[in-house]
Structures are given as C-alpha cells and as structure tokens.
Amino acid sequence: MIPSNESELEYPLYESDTEVSQILEDSTKNTAKSTQNDNETKKPQSYKMEIVWTNALVMFTVHALALYGLTLLPRLKVVTLVFMWSLGLLSTLGVQAGNRF
C-alpha cells in the first residue's frame, strides 16, 4: 500500500532536510569527480605515421605502367580497342552484379 501522507510512513526516509541536502551535495560532487576522471583518462593517443615502402613501390609501378599504356593507345588496332571496351564493360557489370547479389 502506498501511503498518502508522511504520517502514514512507519519509518521516515530521512531525519531532516539537511540530511537530504547533504546527500544531494555528495552525489553532485561524486558525479563531477567521475566526469573529471573520465576526461583525464580519455586523452587522445599519439599516432606516428609510417610509410609502407612495399605498398608505395607497388602503387608507383602501377601508375607508371598506366601512363606507359596511355602512350601506346594511338598504335592500337580497332579490334583491340573493341576488345578493351567489351572487357571494361563486362568487368563493370561483374562488379555491379556482385554488389547486388
């Protein structure tokens, strides 16, 4: 049964209003301290960037070969150009179909 007023309580929850205010002050102090401790412990970690030279060499080689390939385009036959276009179209279709299914 829920009491309708304070006189029906068998044991009062708090002896006085000062006890209630003391509890509220303590809880706000604890909350402020825990927030301050959380901010102190969550310092950003420093990150040192390292170059992976194998990856850099591979990327340089791929782009150098692509530039060399562009210089060869004027010497291609029409059949080779059609083959390149169809191969690009089919590979694009394969990527898109793989994404959908």
pLDDT confidence band for 50 (50 / 70 / 90): very high
Look up the pTM and report it: 0.42
Task: Measure the CA–CA gap between 87 and 36, rounded to whole angstroms.
Answer: 61
**What is the residue range of 62's domain?**
54-100
Decide: 6 and 12 in contact? Cβ < 8 Å: yes
Classify residue 13: in a domain, yes or no: no
pLDDT in tens, 55-89: 999 999 999 999 999 999 999 999 999 999 999 99
Phi-psi region of 47 (alpha: psi -120 to 50; beta: other; left: phi over 0): beta
Residue at 96 is within a domain: yes
Identify the weakest region by mean pLDDT among 29-33, 50-54, 70-74, 93-97: 29-33
Q: Is 29 helix (H, G, I), strand (E, B) or coil?
A: helix
Tally of domains within the chain:
1
Say what the pLDDT of residue 26 is. 72
Position with higher pLDDT, 41 vs 95: 95
In whole angstroms, what is the distance from residue 99 CA to residue 92 CA?
A: 11
Q: Is 84 a member of any domain?
A: yes
Question: Mean pLDDT across the stretch 36-43?
Answer: 60
**Closest-CA residue to 73 (of 85, 65, 81, 62):** 81
